[in-house]
Amino acid sequence: QESSSASAGINFFCYLLTAVSGLSYFYVFFFSLIQSVIWHCRQTGNYEAAVCVLSLLIATEIGTFKLLYTLFQCDAVRETIDSYIALDAEIALGSRLSKNILGTMKQVKWRAFLYWLSIIGNGVFYVVMPLAKSGRRFMDDLFTVYGLEPMNESPNYEIGYLLVSFSCFFICYPSATVTGLVIIISGYTEAQMRGLSEELLYIWNDAEKYYEEQKISKDTPASFNDCDEIIIKNTYIRNRLNVIVDIHVKNLKLYGGIEKIFRFSIIVEFVLLGIAMVSHLLGGLENTYTALPFPFIQVMMDCVVGQRLIDASIMLEEAVYDSKWEHFDVTNRKTILMILQNSQRSITLSAGGIVPLNFQFLMTIIRMIYSAYTTLRSTMNF
């Protein structure tokens, strides 16, 4: 059944829907918006509307750019995902590490689901909102679809409404799915780090338990001495540490590959968000409520993912100190030192490989946007 479903591939209807919605998007939110900024708003003299339309044009490009960039990096993404699947197959089912990973992944699943629901919900709200108002109201009265003027008359209204609806599908669904993929991959790395932290915290207790089991299994327990106890415990610890080091190093390598793939698209997202938010604020604060949640949620989620990875790295580093390493032999202490050095290399998303994404960076971006807005607003008023 799995092979037959895999060979079937993506349904033709999905390709058709994506093609239709993609063409609608480029006609409405690219060509028509550019035409409105350059020509229509200049004719009407409503420059605040032109600024808001420009912001809408830029904001809708964030998810589309991420989708197209992911398609461009498709082979690298598939190869990395296959490597993650191979790594997951090395973990014994039913083990404590496996259970801890599954427990964290449940939280990651809800994180991805709520993000996906918020992005799709934003698009649904944008499409349904005019239907709740009296009369023929369009999604956004600040721009017109090229070739469909006047917009409030039939069949222009119906055609325009369908085009914008299809466009919203292309803007929201693929971008939400791509970001959901990043959340899942990053969440799995986070789950691995947290699981390895638990393994380090309990490694000495596990060694003592293993020694007691070995001691009971012997016919003559009295023959055991202190030297035997040290050797048995440290041999068990050595084997466990080798597994932890192997998994940790593979995680560092795999996530480093994912971070390299998406770092360029992420920095483009932040640049587009900054321009879009400043533009919309200049067009009037009352115009930001429906347009800006969509790009802001996308960028905010990248920072949430980055912060969770940093927290997991700190958790692993603290677990190394609390692993009761002082009871280990010299060889195991050297291994612990290597794990400590590796754990201090925080795994995180970054913007262009320059700035790590976390809550602090998100607040810095918000402050920079507000500062740019107040500066430009004061200049315009002057």
Angstrom distance (rounded) from CA 269 to CA 179: 12
Domain boundaries, the chain: 66-118+174-379
**pTM of the predicted model over 0.95:** no
Nearest to 63 by CA among 299, 284, 248: 299
Burial of 208 (0-12, 13-18, 19+ CB in 10 A): middle
pLDDT of the chain along its 382 residues, tens only? Answer: 444 444 456 777 877 888 888 898 888 888 887 777 777 666 666 666 677 777 777 878 877 888 888 888 889 888 988 999 998 998 888 899 999 999 999 999 999 999 999 888 888 888 888 777 776 777 776 677 888 887 778 888 888 888 888 888 888 887 788 888 889 999 999 999 999 999 999 999 999 998 888 777 655 455 556 567 888 899 999 999 999 999 999 988 888 888 888 888 888 887 887 777 777 666 655 555 556 677 778 778 888 888 999 899 899 999 999 999 998 999 999 999 998 888 887 777 787 777 788 888 888 878 877 777 677 667 655 4
**DSSP letter at 129?**
G
The H-or-E segment that residue 356 falls in is: strand 355-356
Q: Which residues pair with 350 in a beta bridge?
A: 356
Query: Contact at 8 Å (CB) between 295 and 276?
Result: yes
Supply the angle between the helices 47-59 and 61-72 in degrees, to the nearest 10: 30
Angstrom distance (rounded) from CA 91 to CA 6: 25
Please report, as a single letter, which amino acid is at residue 188. Y
Angstrom distance (rounded) from CA 355 to CA 367: 16
Angstrom distance (rounded) from CA 63 to CA 174: 8
Helices (H), ranges, the chain: 2-8, 12-25, 33-35, 41-44, 47-59, 61-72, 74-89, 96-128, 156-201, 203-217, 226-282, 293-321, 330-343, 359-381
Phi-psi region of 9 (alpha: psi -120 to 50; beta: other; left: phi over 0): left
How much is the pLDDT for 1?
A: 40
Terminal-residue alpha carbon distance, the chain: 69
Angstrom distance (rounded) from CA 273 to CA 60: 10
Distances (CA, A) of 244 to 104, 194, 224, 254, 316: 18, 12, 29, 15, 11
How much is the pLDDT for 44?
A: 65
Backbone angles phi and psi of 351, in degrees to 5: -95, 100
Angstrom distance (rounded) from CA 339 to CA 337: 5
Largest CA distance in the chain: 98
Backbone angles phi and psi of 291, in degrees to 5: -95, -35
Backbone angles phi and psi of 139, in degrees to 5: -60, -40
Structure tokens at 120: 């799709």
| Overall residue count recorded for the chain in this entry | 382
